[in-house]
Amino acid sequence: MDKRTTAAAAVAELRDGMTVGIGGWGSRRKPMALVREILRSELSDLTLVSYGGPDVGLLCAAGKVRKLIYGFVSLDSIPLEPHFRAARQTGAIEAAELDEGMLQWGLYAAALRLPFLPTRAGLGTDVLSINPDLRLVRSPYADGEELVAMPAIHLDAALVHMNRADARGNAQFLGPDPYFDDLFCMAAKRRFLSCEKIVETADLLKGGSVHTLKINRSLVDGVIETPNGAHFTECPPDYGRDEAFQREYAAAAKDPEAWATFRERYVDLPNEEAYQEAVRSR
């Protein structure tokens, strides 16, 4: 089955109030072309689930986010995402801050269709006090150990970005880390995958090994070819993070006038082609 589609068609399937998981990690291999398409849409009241980076920041700055479920929100070389920081400090969003492993376990529980998974992560920390809905469970075995019952994080939709994919939805990472993109897809009802290049299925193994094929076609509903689609985050080995652009982004976030100029130049554009042209012409 040919699952090729467009970013606009994928985002058109999303609805206000949905819970949307965004793959990648911090400022690394984020599906930014799909995020930019959401920015161009009328979507609002979203719950985002993310190991966050500029995906979270941009969507918070645009007023698209009602609630954020996250392990962190960072630009990596810039420790704290500035628009997330502003949204968190002003109370503009509802926040569920989790240990990174708890977030992974919540996605895994949803992937396994379980109501929760037990974990030691979070024990003895303020994670439990700032998330009073979390519950503890006692092991039914002889040890009787008390553990955190991490609830499943069910997603209405997942958005991920990979280096290569075929038209059927088999996808490959070529960088050093798969992150948890497969879990995002497994936990979601609808799954959309952007990639640097769509190739023939046989070509997927030419640039890597079977272990780099973390996402198979059963986990994908739409494939979108978006060259440079993770910009300004990194997508190695295709390209690194655009540090100059990221510094400009973070600096602009500190001043309303500078942010208005940045938005006009890079955000409030009609399509991805216009964005990529603006980036090339800097």
What is the reported pLDDT for 64? Answer: 98
What confidence category does residue 206 fall into, taking pLDDT thresholds of 50, 70 and 90?
confident
Q: What is the mean pLDDT of the chain?
A: 97
Residues 6+ apart with CB under 8 A from 124: none
Fold of 7-100+154-277: Glutaconate Coenzyme A-transferase (3.40.1080)
Burial label for 36, CB within 10 Å (0-12, 13-18, 19+), is buried
pLDDT for residue 207 is more than 80: no
* Domains of the chain, residue spans: 7-100+154-277, 116-151
Phi-psi region of 157 (alpha: psi -120 to 50; beta: other; left: phi over 0): beta
What confidence category does residue 14 fall into, taking pLDDT thresholds of 50, 70 and 90?
very high
Nearest-angstrom CA–CA distance, 248 and 229: 19
Lowest mean pLDDT among 49-63, 195-209, 225-239: 195-209
Q: Look at the chain and count its residues.
A: 282
Q: How far apart are the first and last CA of the chain?
A: 40
What confidence category does residue 9 fall into, taking pLDDT thresholds of 50, 70 and 90?
very high
Q: Give the model confidence (pLDDT) of 32-44 as tens digits.
A: 999 999 999 999 9
Helices 82-90 and 54-61, packing angle to 10 deg? 50
Percent of the chain exceeding pLDDT 70 equals 99
Q: Give the model confidence (pLDDT) of 241-269 as tens digits.
A: 999 999 999 999 999 999 999 999 999 99
What is the reported pLDDT for 210? Answer: 80
What confidence category does residue 208 fall into, taking pLDDT thresholds of 50, 70 and 90?
low
